[in-house]
Chains A and B, each alone.
Chain A
Amino acid sequence: MDATALSHAAQAVGAIGVLGTVLGVILGVASRYLSTPVDDRAEAVAALLPGSNCAQCGFAGCKQAAAAMVEGRAAPNCCPPGGASTAQRVADLLGVRLVMDGSEEALPTVAWVEEARCIGCTRCIRKCGSDAIVGAAKQMHTVLPEACYACGLCVAECPTQAIVMKPVLPTLATWHWPKPKPKPKPKTAVATPLTTD
């Protein structure tokens, strides 16, 4: 092979190389600046929700509810079992302001089995999304309050209405000062009509 052929080959390789580098850089820049943003917040929101698809929010499950929250079709506090802390975390993630509607001041509840009524059918155990109910067939069941997230599915499932939702009362460890209520302004003296009867 002579020198001319070699130099031609080198030119071709060089040209292709330069072309490749330039196009590569353009593609790289384009992928960075011209990309369509993918909205992956729905998954992030779903990761914050309980994930047991109890459907109290009115959607088929937690994934659907998460999508609705991202699209603004549902409020961040639409998940009753998630409670105030989940609502706050969703609102933080979506960058929306949480509108307090008073529901966050309600006492949290947990399920409670009235022992005299329980027939040990295990239907609630099979329904419970977080394995919070223990018991065996024809044995009395009970709820582990630490694991219960108050979805209420067991209440509807129980054939003998043995399960009720009970409020979790504050203890010395959980109590805190309530929000100050504005003090009423001192009333100006008003003449009260005398009652004759």
Chain B
Amino acid sequence: MWSFRVRGGVKLQYHKELSSEKAVVPMPLPRRLYLPLQQHIGAPALPVVVVGDTVLKGQLIAKAAPGLSAPVHASSSGTVVAIEEYVAPHPSGLRQKTIIIATDGQDRWAALPHPITDDFPLGVTPAELNSRVAAAGIVGMGGAAFPSAVKLDLKSRYQLDTLLINGAECEPYLTCDDRLMREEAAAVIDGVRILAYALEVQSVVFAIERNKPQALAAIREAARVEPWIKVMALPTRFPMGSERHLVLACTGRETPSRKLTADIGVVVHNVATARAVARTVRSGEPLISRVVTVSGRGIREPANINVPLGTLVEDLLVFCGGLHPVPHKLIGGGPMMGAPLPSVQVPVVKGTSGVLALTADEVNDGAESPCIRCGSCVSACPCGLVPLEMAQLVRRGDLQGAQAIGLQDCVSCGSCSFICPSHIPLSHYFNFAKGQLGALDRDSRRQDRIRSLIQARNERAAREAEAKKAAAAARKAAKAAAAAASAAAPVDTPASQLEEST
């Protein structure tokens, strides 16, 4: 099956060979686990344990907040030693509420929901499956960490026909999805079937880039019994794994600007998400671990590790033999779309696909020089935008102008920054501009709320003044009436009468 052409994109040096032949190894249990309350898009989860509580592996420790959110579970047994602000794995280095567990080394399991072992059709309704996925705290594991149950529920609002499984793994260095597909192809395909059943779609496409021939073979083999699952080999080109570009490449449908892929009938789930769903359904386990690629030439022994969530990056680096030579950059996620880590003492969370220690010669970090208008960024942009023009507008402070030529359609893939011969930080400009526009928008809404408060207060003041005036007038009238009465009968005006009239 041929894929459809996607415009733009860049050819990269992949460096996947550093870790692609390393089988997934389990991480030894760390002494402490740091589980942030927000590891997903949406509202932070709400803790249901207190300091001093003993928790078991897989036990719910923070429930989902109302609205868009996801729960958090203990990744091993132990004692809650603190619930406090701790550095988040986020480029800002800001802190967030984190549940800290001192592990007891026994890894005792909590009582889990009963496993669903039926063959297809499953003995549960799609809605029941959906609530189980939500309760397991599963979020998109490709990096965006959007709660998966919400994506499964899209069928109630959109006409869906296709489930697309994203096994592209187009970021350099990362091999965690590649290893999963090779080592656990059967579980992944089982997860895909469960997702298709929950979404009630007839058509499933499993997309893998051609630079992973073993993964392609393994998935083809596992999907042989399910001929309705189409396995598709995609050309190796960044950013093939971007949701909208993957949909375009596999179905030929282009997602309209500012719309979801669900608007054109497609839902995309990551390979690791499918595996997590299979695990939750088949054994009742919530999402408490994930495969992380630790790689880069600054790592002594690159590896793919099955890590309990909440393990510190520091522990991972030590497990991989430490840093050598001292890296130039430490990145969470892939080198194109990932973000620098503020410290090694940040935890691995649900969306952490990789930890990369890159040396200076692996980083394209030259001094910035003026734009020569070569147009490389225009041909590289997979969204059909004109990065050089947008960056110029943002630099001058004209965010509205940048928005008018498509700033909000930028997916922040970083292809333009990568290709730019002048080393202009193009995607940095766009990330800043999108953030700033978001802040302005939030501020406008706040100003509108405050204006309505001020208006309400002004109206109240006017009403009070009116009432005071009326009362004064009434008093005056009463006084005049009393005066008239006393003039008519000056001898005795009973005080009680006066009081009554006021």
Residue numbers of A with Cβ under 8 A of B are: 50-52, 82-86, 88-89, 92, 97-98, 100, 108, 129-132, 146-147, 149, 170-172, 174-180, 182-186
Residues of B within 8 Å of A88, CB to CB, are 400, 440
A171-B446 Cα distance, complex, nearest whole Å? 16
Minimum Cβ distance to chain B for residue A122 (Å): 15
Residues of A within 8 Å of B38, CB to CB, are 172
Residues of B within 8 Å of A174, CB to CB, are 439, 442
Residues of B within 8 Å of A183, CB to CB, are 367-368, 423
B436 at the interface (CB under 8 A from A): yes
Residues of B within 8 Å of A82, CB to CB, are 447
Determine the residue in chain B with the shortest Cβ distance to A87.
Answer: B440
Residues of B within 8 Å of A184, CB to CB, are 367
Residues of B within 8 Å of A85, CB to CB, are 440-441, 443-444, 447
A131-B460 Cα distance, complex, nearest whole Å? 11
Q: Flag if A178 contacts B450 (CB, 8 Å).
A: no
With A172-B94, A178-B432, A180-B425: A186-B443 Cβ-Cβ less than 8 Å = no
Q: Flag if A84 contacts B453 (CB, 8 Å).
A: no
A97-B399 Cα distance, complex, nearest whole Å? 11
Minimum Cβ distance to chain A for residue B113 (Å): 31
Q: Flag if A177 contacts B455 (CB, 8 Å).
A: no
Q: Flag if A177 contacts B435 (CB, 8 Å).
A: yes
Minimum Cβ distance to chain B for residue A86 (Å): 6
Q: Flag if A50 contacts B450 (CB, 8 Å).
A: yes
With A130-B454, A176-B431, A180-B428: A86-B447 Cβ-Cβ less than 8 Å = yes
20 contacts between A and B (CB under 8 A): A51-B454, A52-B457, A85-B440, A85-B441, A86-B444, A88-B400, A88-B440, A97-B398, A130-B450, A130-B453, A131-B453, A146-B446, A147-B449, A147-B450, A170-B92, A171-B94, A172-B38, A172-B94, A175-B90, A177-B432
A131-B456 Cα distance, complex, nearest whole Å? 9
Minimum Cβ distance to chain B for residue A167 (Å): 15
A146-B453 Cα distance, complex, nearest whole Å? 11
A85-B437 Cα distance, complex, nearest whole Å? 9
Task: Select B447's contact among A149, A172, A175, A179, beta carbons within 8 Å.
Answer: A149
Determine the residue in chain A with the shortest Cβ distance to B94.
Answer: A172
Q: Flag if B397 contacts A51 (CB, 8 Å).
A: no
Determine the residue in chain A with the shortest Cβ distance to B397.
Answer: A100
A-B contact count (CB 8 A): 91
With A82-B447, A146-B446, A180-B428: A175-B94 Cβ-Cβ less than 8 Å = yes
Q: Flag if B431 contacts A177 (CB, 8 Å).
A: yes
Task: Select B454's contact among A83, A129, A170, A178, beta carbons within 8 Å.
Answer: A129
Determine the residue in chain A with the shortest Cβ distance to B399.
Answer: A88
Q: Flag if A50 contacts B367 (CB, 8 Å).
A: no
Residues of B within 8 Å of A149, CB to CB, are 447, 450
Task: Select B457's contact among A92, A131, A171, A182, beta carbons within 8 Å.
Answer: A131
Closest 9 CB pairs of A and B: A176-B435, A85-B443, A85-B444, A130-B453, A177-B431, A175-B92, A180-B428, A52-B454, A177-B432
Residues of B within 8 Å of A92, CB to CB, are 400
Using an 8 Å CB-CB cutoff, how does the interface string of B212-230 with A read, 1 for contact, 0 for none? 0000000000000000000
Determine the residue in chain B with the shortest Cβ distance to A171.
Answer: B94
A38-B90 Cα distance, complex, nearest whole Å? 53
Residues of B within 8 Å of A89, CB to CB, are 444
Minimum Cβ distance to chain A for residue B431 (Å): 4
Q: Flag if A176 contacts B444 (CB, 8 Å).
A: no
A9-B400 Cα distance, complex, nearest whole Å? 67
B3 at the interface (CB under 8 A from A): no
Using an 8 Å CB-CB cutoff, how does the interface string of B36-71 with A read, 1 for contact, 0 for none? 001000000000000000000000000000000000
B381 at the interface (CB under 8 A from A): no
A170-B432 Cα distance, complex, nearest whole Å? 14
Q: Flag if A182 contacts B435 (CB, 8 Å).
A: no
Q: Flag if B457 contacts A177 (CB, 8 Å).
A: no
Minimum Cβ distance to chain A for residue B388 (Å): 14
A19-B385 Cα distance, complex, nearest whole Å? 61
B501 at the interface (CB under 8 A from A): no
Q: Flag if A176 contacts B432 (CB, 8 Å).
A: yes
B451 at the interface (CB under 8 A from A): yes
B88 at the interface (CB under 8 A from A): yes
Q: Flag if B450 contacts A179 (CB, 8 Å).
A: no
* B400, B423, B441, B450, most chain A CB atoms within 10 A: B450
B211 at the interface (CB under 8 A from A): no
A134-B148 Cα distance, complex, nearest whole Å? 42
Residues of A within 8 Å of B368, CB to CB, are 182-183
Minimum Cβ distance to chain B for residue A53 (Å): 9
A177-B340 Cα distance, complex, nearest whole Å? 12
Determine the residue in chain B with the shortest Cβ distance to A186.
Answer: B367
Determine the residue in chain A with the shortest Cβ distance to B428.
Answer: A180
A58-B88 Cα distance, complex, nearest whole Å? 43
Minimum Cβ distance to chain A for residue B340 (Å): 11
Minimum Cβ distance to chain B for residue A143 (Å): 13
Minimum Cβ distance to chain B for residue A26 (Å): 43
11 more CB-based (< 8 A) A-B contacts, given A52-B457, A147-B453, A175-B435:
A82-B447, A86-B447, A88-B400, A97-B398, A98-B397, A129-B457, A149-B447, A174-B442, A179-B432, A180-B432, A183-B423
B434 at the interface (CB under 8 A from A): yes
* B423, B436, B458, most chain A CB atoms within 10 A: B436
Residues of B within 8 Å of A175, CB to CB, are 90, 92, 94, 435
Minimum Cβ distance to chain A for residue B329 (Å): 15
Residues of B within 8 Å of A131, CB to CB, are 453, 456-457
